[in-house]
Amino acid sequence: MTFGSTAGETPPAAGGWREGDPNGRRQWVDGTVPGLGLPVRIAYETWGALDESRSNAVLVLHALTGDSHAAGVAEPGHPTDGWWDGLIGPGRALDPGRWFVVVPNVLGGCQGTTGPLSRAPDGREWGSRFPRISVRDQVAAEVVLADALGVSSWAAVIGGSMGGMRALEWAVTEPARVRSLLVLAAPAASTAEHIALAAPQLGAIRADPVTGMGIARRIAHLSYRSAVELESRFGRDVQEDGRYAVESYLDHHAEKLTRRFDPWSYARLTEAMNGHDVGAGRGGVRAALRRVTARSVVAGIDSDRLYPLAQQEEIAAGLGVPLRVVRSAAGHDGFLLEVAQVAELVGELLATLSVDSGVGGPGC
């Protein structure tokens, strides 16, 4: 399928950061991901400073359509406000006066890290030609970043949703480099239901990238919110134009995403999430979780229908810690919206490090 003048490139209507756009707060590291055979450039943002012992670094990992701009206002180069702004800042759970907070844009993303919007060796955007990647590839790219920053171990690795998948993969793949861990609203492995939910989204994008991503966002957004919330907010309300209010709500979110995100990035990241299985090649999930040495907090959202509590219970049981529950009517998106509850979990995890070296078995 051809859009514009060059086959395979993202049509100009799609969003995402491109060379020549304002850099904003981004910094970059260049390297090569072992086993991927692809030179990568990793965009990231930081808050605070690395201390002399290099022991105060915290890695925060974003979800599917997030990016490195976890805190701060929208500004040139950053189309949206920080997605976890309530967690990062003076007096907050991730206080830059104490912690060196690092937030990378994921490999395959579209906000400055190598992905479908990057230029391939032939000088054209990768677009649909960008190779398939895995969650493990994404973590390997983040290891390149950690090495470049001189961080031999993270005080904490924290992530929700797709970020939670990567946080868990970090703790299993690089146990000596993760001293504490927060996995929030994420599974140990994607299920048949997850893959089935993604299938029509991917099909829509492959048929027509821009229109298809809007359709994909509508489908996905239904899994991000709860039925109770949708009913209470919209019910069967009809607008003056004759459309149901809930339809307009979904259209709004589809339009917003199309303006700031790249469809082929959406596709490649969704495929990586489909392939997520922390136990693959490791003897299964239970055996993989036994590799984790980090002090761990595992939490889920009580109304999450995308990654229900039973999936976090599997992780918690494998790590030998109690499951923590975030109460929210919002569904899966509660990991972003229930900032006060998430801040309590982060504060609890990091408070342990303030009285302990953080070395030891899992548990909190």
**Residues assigned a catalytic role:** 161, 304, 332
Beta-strand pair 57-61/100-104: parallel
What's 363's DSSP letter? -
DSSP string, 202-234: HHHHHH-HHHHHHHHHHHHHHHHS-HHHHHHHT
Q: Strand, helix or coil at 180? A: strand
DSSP annotation of 90: T
Residue 17 CB partners (closer than 8 Å, separation 6+): 26, 43, 77, 110, 111, 112, 117
C-alpha–C-alpha distance, residues 357 and 271, integer Å:
38
In three-state secondary structure terms, 31 is strand
Sign of CA dihedral 193, 167, 340, 325: positive
Q: How many residues does the chain have?
A: 364
